[in-house]
Amino acid sequence: MNKVQLIQQYLQEKNIDAAFITTPDNVFYLSGFRSDPHERLLGIMIFKEAEPFMICPKMEVPDAKAAGWAFEAVGHEDTENAWEIFHHTTNTRNVPLHTLAIEKSHLTVERLEALQHFFNDTKYVGLDEQLNQMRLIKSEDELKKLREAAKLADYAIEVGCNEIAEGKTEIEILSAIEAAMKAKGVYMSFDTMVLTGLNAASPHGTPGTQKVQKGDLVLFDLGVVYEGYCSDITRTVAFGEISDAQKEVYETVKRANEAAIELVKPGVLAKELDHASRKVIEDAGFGEYFTHRLGHGLGISVHEFPSVHGANEMAMQEGMVFTIEPGIYKNDTAGVRIEDDVYVTESGVEVLTSFPKELQIIQPK
Amino acid sequence: MNKVQLIQQYLQEKNIDAAFITTPDNVFYLSGFRSDPHERLLGIMIFKEAEPFMICPKMEVPDAKAAGWAFEAVGHEDTENAWEIFHHTTNTRNVPLHTLAIEKSHLTVERLEALQHFFNDTKYVGLDEQLNQMRLIKSEDELKKLREAAKLADYAIEVGCNEIAEGKTEIEILSAIEAAMKAKGVYMSFDTMVLTGLNAASPHGTPGTQKVQKGDLVLFDLGVVYEGYCSDITRTVAFGEISDAQKEVYETVKRANEAAIELVKPGVLAKELDHASRKVIEDAGFGEYFTHRLGHGLGISVHEFPSVHGANEMAMQEGMVFTIEPGIYKNDTAGVRIEDDVYVTESGVEVLTSFPKELQIIQPK
């Protein structure tokens, strides 16, 4: 059963007349067609019992077809009212629309009002959870792409380490990484982060013209998109000798990362992973400096379902892929984060990212 | 009057109790604080007559303050219910919330439902148009940043032209451009596009491993962000001698670009600009190959208000900045687009981008 049929089955089970899917990531998930339509209307309408259609900017119709969308693709031009075209095409299916499922976590209020304008007797229900559930469990094919994305991320860290030298700026190093990845034909899944010294002690710091100096810890946070699937890795390495205080922070984060990974298997709760990792950091006296959740789901989106935090009661299942990324940001000592992408196997875990976690010391020349 | 006060004035005029602004671009516009909180709650609550506050991830509170947010900044952690904290903080202001303005074109249905859960007697109205209007007219300070962003985009095209050589791939050329820009400390405002030969005949084509060959037209579409403000330029250049048919396409697009720019001044309608440009292309017999609108507003967002298309009756005003970017995509001949960023002056136009538009022929070595 393909993904469109799975949605149809869901609509039949729940007695929902149709589903309108509008996020570019889910349009890609269902059709293989990747597009960023900006403010223009892009969506897939799937009926309980009628032929689905895609609505997209007219100039992208051939691309959608070429990407493998096997059903009708209706184009709209900038001068046209896309919602009228949507309404008209829906009417051609000649089915009632008592209930329509939408992506409530992404559809805007304005778009809901546009739908309500044309379908004002319709009840709107959320499809988000169902789509999240579908995307949660990765197929063998998806896993292959995620493995490859992780391998490329490992390579990107290697490139970054080779670029580290006294006086080089964060931006010079990250440019070299991004150029190397583009030469391999892949895009980054988010803006590459290279932070050196205490600049790394801000968990969402911005790379700039700060220069690497002996005794710095250098933090890399990056990922790539491989055939539509993302990786996300963080490694922190030393440039020359670092202090005992820096080492203590590093080793604590490493143990926190490992403590969570050891627990990963079907049935473990998301919050148990967060707690295990956080306990290591708290026990070492750094609790107040670990200021974010443990991790997040990973797939077509670089941040997707589930959120791995201390209040999430969700049990992990075979086929899930998520990050484990504890960090300590102590602005008088060091900023360290170590992040892996993990896949839940039948009985345990496969860690997709494999760049070494033993403290790497880059020797100044 | 600062921007927060302007919103307060608007709320007083319209008798709206408060406004909740949640798009990262508008949070930046109002506070100077640039953040991408992913799915986490980030917003600015401005009351008609009480102290505003920002709600953001806890770890970003110091960054928001450092960026210049002068009012209360309330943090939330991943384990907390951010909406409860929002509700609580709002209540401390002790003002009724009969009417709340939201960004309907960005706020999700899920977030509206979260608001409705806590404020269920409140009427929700749109703030989008007011924010669009405020951002539409650029201040002298904003114009300075846009000029600088455009200058950097010109430079990026120059870098790209210098990189063109027989057998180089699109990705190699765009990597060199992006590295050069990062070395200058600026990020691209969107994924750089370098398309060669007939690959450029798709208006939303993707750069890949296609190699530049003699007789190709090479299309660059790129932009940078300078201190929060975007540029967006497209140039198409020839590598070696091109055919008369290619030249005809190029010269038609150039005339179409110039025809619109000539008309720019306060009072001209958006649709008149589109029509003028489109008429040149239609008269040359290429009408069916110009498949998109003429342009879009430019500022903090690379695509912002207004949309410059053939059905937009809006009159242009002094202080507006937008793109003019006609194109012809004829998949047996050539893909050409020429895009400039323009500023509406008191009596005419200032073209911010200045890379030459006379056909540039890069000579093969």
pLDDT band at residue A38 using 50, 70 and 90 as cut-offs = confident
Instruction: Sketch out chain B's domains with CATH numbers.
Output: 3-135 (3.40.350.10), 140-362 (3.90.230.10)
pLDDT band at residue A203 using 50, 70 and 90 as cut-offs = low
Instruction: Please state, in angstroms and rounded to a whole number, the distance separating the CA atoms of residues A344 and A316.
Output: 7
Contact between B23 and B106 (Cβ < 8 Å): yes
Q: Which of residues 195-214 of B touch A (CB under 8 A)?
A: 202-204, 208-209
**Nearest alpha carbon to residue A252 among A275, A284, A221, A293:** A284
Query: What average pLDDT is seen over chain A?
Result: 95
List the single residue in B with minimal CA-CA distance to A57.
B292
Instruction: Please state, in angstroms and rounded to a whole number, the distance separating the CA atoms of residues B319 and A355.
Output: 51
Q: Confirm or reject contact between B228 and chain A (CB < 8 A).
A: no
Q: Which of residues 263-292 of A touch B (CB under 8 A)?
A: 291-292
Q: Which residues of B touch A309 (CB under 8 A)?
A: 78-79
Instruction: Report the pLDDT averaged over residues B147-164.
Output: 98
Whether pLDDT at A79 is above 90: no
Q: Confirm or reject contact between A185 and chain B (CB < 8 A).
A: yes
Q: How far apart are the first and last CA of chain B?
A: 58
Q: Which residues of A touch B42 (CB under 8 A)?
A: none
Contact between B320 and B136 (Cβ < 8 Å): yes
pLDDT score, position B203: 59
Q: Which residues of B touch A110 (CB under 8 A)?
A: 104-105, 126, 128
What does the angle CA B87 – CA A114 – CA B126 come to, to the nearest 5 degrees? 40
Q: Confirm or reject contact between B313 and chain A (CB < 8 A).
A: no
With an 8 Å Cβ cutoff, are A105 and B105 in contact?
no
Q: Tens digit of pLDDT for each residue in A144-187?
A: 999 999 999 999 999 999 999 999 999 889 989 998 998 888 98
Q: Confirm or reject contact between B176 and chain A (CB < 8 A).
A: yes
**Nearest alpha carbon to residue A24 among A50, A57, A59, A71:** A57
Instruction: Report the pLDDT averaged over residues A264-292.
Output: 97
pLDDT score, position A37: 85
Q: Confirm or reject contact between B38 and chain A (CB < 8 A).
A: yes
Instruction: Report the pLDDT averaged over residues A81-89.
Output: 97
How far does the CA of residue B343 sit from the closest CA of chain A (Å)? 22
DSSP secondary structure code for residue A78 in this structure: T
Strand extents, DSSP E, chain A: 18-21, 43-47, 53-57, 72-76, 99-102, 123-126, 187-188, 193-196, 216-222, 224-226, 229-230, 233-239, 295-297, 304-308, 321-324, 327-330, 334-337, 340-344, 349-351, 361-362
Q: Letter for the amino acid at A28?
A: F
Of A183, A291, A307, the CB nearest to B171: A183
Instruction: Report the pLDDT averaged over residues B145-170.
Output: 97
**Nearest alpha carbon to residue B230 among B286, B175, B167, B181:** B181
pLDDT score, position A183: 83
pLDDT score, position A160: 98
pLDDT score, position B90: 98
pLDDT score, position B204: 63
**Nearest alpha carbon to residue A291 among A191, A215, A203, A194:** A203
With an 8 Å Cβ cutoff, are A310 and B58 in contact?
no
Phi, psi of B57 (to 5 degrees): -55, 140
Chains A, B: CB contacts within 8 A come to: 119
Instruction: Please state, in angstroms and rounded to a whole number, the distance separating the CA atoms of residues B37 and B111.
Output: 15
Q: Letter for the amino acid at B255?
A: R
ipTM: 0.78
List the single residue in B with minimal CA-CA distance to A36.
B204
How far does the CA of residue A326 sit from the closest CA of chain B (Å)? 13
Q: Tens digit of pLDDT for each residue in B231-277?
A: 999 999 999 999 999 999 999 999 999 999 999 999 999 999 999 99
Instruction: Please state, in angstroms and rounded to a whole number, the distance separating the CA atoms of residues A352 and A233.
Output: 10
Q: How far apart are the first and last CA of chain A?
A: 58
**Nearest alpha carbon to residue A286 among A323, A340, A258, A245:** A245
Q: Which residues of B touch A303 (CB under 8 A)?
A: 38-39
Q: Which two tokens stand for residue A202?
A: 């801000």
pLDDT score, position B136: 95
Question: What percentage of chain B reaches a pLDDT higher than 70?
Answer: 99
Q: Confirm or reject contact between B309 and chain A (CB < 8 A).
A: yes
With an 8 Å Cβ cutoff, are B178 and A179 in contact?
yes
With an 8 Å Cβ cutoff, are A79 and B309 in contact?
yes
Q: Which two tokens stand for residue B199?
A: 């690959």
Q: Confirm or reject contact between B123 and chain A (CB < 8 A).
A: no
Instruction: Report the pLDDT averaged over residues B85-95.
Output: 97
pLDDT score, position B185: 83
Q: Which residues of A touch B209 (CB under 8 A)?
A: 185
Query: What average pLDDT is seen over chain B?
Result: 95
Q: Tens digit of pLDDT for each residue in A318-350?
A: 999 999 999 999 999 999 999 999 999 999 999
Residue A266's contacts (CB-CB under 8 Å, 6 or more residues apart) are A315, A316, A317, A318, A344, A346, A347
DSSP code per residue over B98-164: SEEEE-TTTSBHHHHHHHHHH-TT-EEEE-HHHHHHHHHS--HHHHHHHHHHHHHHHHHHHHHHHH-
How far does the CA of residue B361 sit from the closest CA of chain A (Å)? 26
pLDDT score, position A293: 94
Q: Confirm or reject contact between A63 and chain B (CB < 8 A).
A: yes
Q: Confirm or reject contact between B293 and chain A (CB < 8 A).
A: yes
**Nearest alpha carbon to residue A213 among A319, A362, A320:** A362
Whether pLDDT at A36 is above 90: no
Instruction: Please state, in angstroms and rounded to a whole number, the distance separating the CA atoms of residues A120 and A312.
Output: 36
Q: Which residues of B touch A76 (CB under 8 A)?
A: none
Most A CBs within 10 A among B182, B193, B302, hence the mutation to make, goes to B182
Whether pLDDT at A205 is above 80: no
Instruction: Report the pLDDT averaged over residues A123-145.
Output: 95
* Residue A204 burial (C-beta neighbours within 10 Å; 0-12, 13-18, 19+): middle
Q: What is the CA radius of gyration of chain A?
A: 23
Whether pLDDT at A21 is above 70: yes
Q: Which two tokens stand for residue B206?
A: 């993707």
